[in-house]
Amino acid sequence: MTLQYVPIIDLGPYFGGTAEGKAEVAKAVNQACRDIGFLVITEHQIPKELIERVYALTSQFFDLPMAEKRKADRPRPDMVRGYSAVAEESLSYSMEEAAPGDLKESFSIGPTDVPAEPYYSEAMAGPHFAPNVWPADLPGFQQAYAEYFEAMGDLARTLMRIFALALALPETFFDDKIDKHISMFRSLRYPHLKEGIEEGQLRAGAHTDYGSLTIVKPDGAQGGLQVCNRDGEWVDVPYVEDGFVVNIGDLMMQWTNDQWISTLHRVINPPEDAAGDQQRQSLVFFHQPNYDVMVECLPSCLAEGETPRYAPVSSGDHLKSKFVRQTTFGGSKVA
């Protein structure tokens, strides 16, 4: 049976540690990644206190006057750190489509506590380990964001282990490919605008994500995430209060020789008749393997007589090519 909706998967059996439990979760994840590329996970082991603390501090930051937020502006276009205001980015540019700016503002960080070793500063590392930019007067903000980045890295490692089992690989197959990951954590606020919206302008235009996987903590406001299923229909991603939304990115689709799909998705505006303030806030972790890892067709994803659909590419070069495309078509997008 082919899924036409986004499934909710309990990770509890995996964390239970039994072979049967791990196989059960891996089977469900494999089905989701093959059919729709999205899933909602529960029992993920991330402390609720941490999520709530980061969410509250994020709200405090976005509530600051624009002049204060601008003090944490992105240093330069290729360095995705710091603040970006409403409509300064267009996700659809990554699909080579012109579109109005997205109705969101964002704050982004990359790896924290970067070791003083050549690997992290040589030319190949590019801007992936660039220093983070922080708001000046928000006590606890930097510590909370660093903790959340670390927790999401741990959860991503768990998910990659589940992916390995789902792909008939050793459970720790990806471990040494993501131990110096070049991921990004980005908080987003989508204001509830009731006028001044251009034709075709969305909270986030239709796009796919770049890397291995994305982990999203949304809220329950109207005007949420939608995914395009295999029938070409836009379906709502279910909101589960304590759950995370997970989707695979272009790099994982390439790794699996298109057996898993990196699915088109978007964030829509609230209905015109929506009551109250439907402002939306999301915490998004974009996971990307070590920059020097070569991504090539996995042995379990190539049937006898088939040839890989993609030439091998490093994780860093793959990401750089996406940046080049977005810049060429006028955006400053990362997602």
In the prediction, which pLDDT does 145 show? Answer: 98
CB 237 within 8 A of CB 226: yes
279 within some domain: yes
Domain of 184, CATH number, reads 2.60.120.330
In the prediction, which pLDDT does 151 show? Answer: 98
Tell me the residue range of the domain where 147 lies: 8-328
- List of the chain residues with pLDDT < 50: 90-98, 100, 326-335
In the prediction, which pLDDT does 334 show? Answer: 39
2 within some domain: no
In the prediction, which pLDDT does 96 show? Answer: 47
In the prediction, which pLDDT does 101 show? Answer: 59
291 within some domain: yes
193 within some domain: yes
In the prediction, which pLDDT does 158 show? Answer: 98
Please give the structure tokens belonging to residue 260.
Answer: 């898993």
- Counting the structural domains of the chain, the total is 1
First to last CA, the chain: 30
Report which residue type is found at 126: G
The CA-CA-CA angle for residues 150, 52, 135, to 5°, reads 70
* Model confidence pTM above 0.85: yes
164 within some domain: yes
Please give the structure tokens belonging to residue 278.
Answer: 């439907």
In the prediction, which pLDDT does 229 show? Answer: 87
335 within some domain: no
285 within some domain: yes
334 within some domain: no
In the prediction, which pLDDT does 195 show? Answer: 56
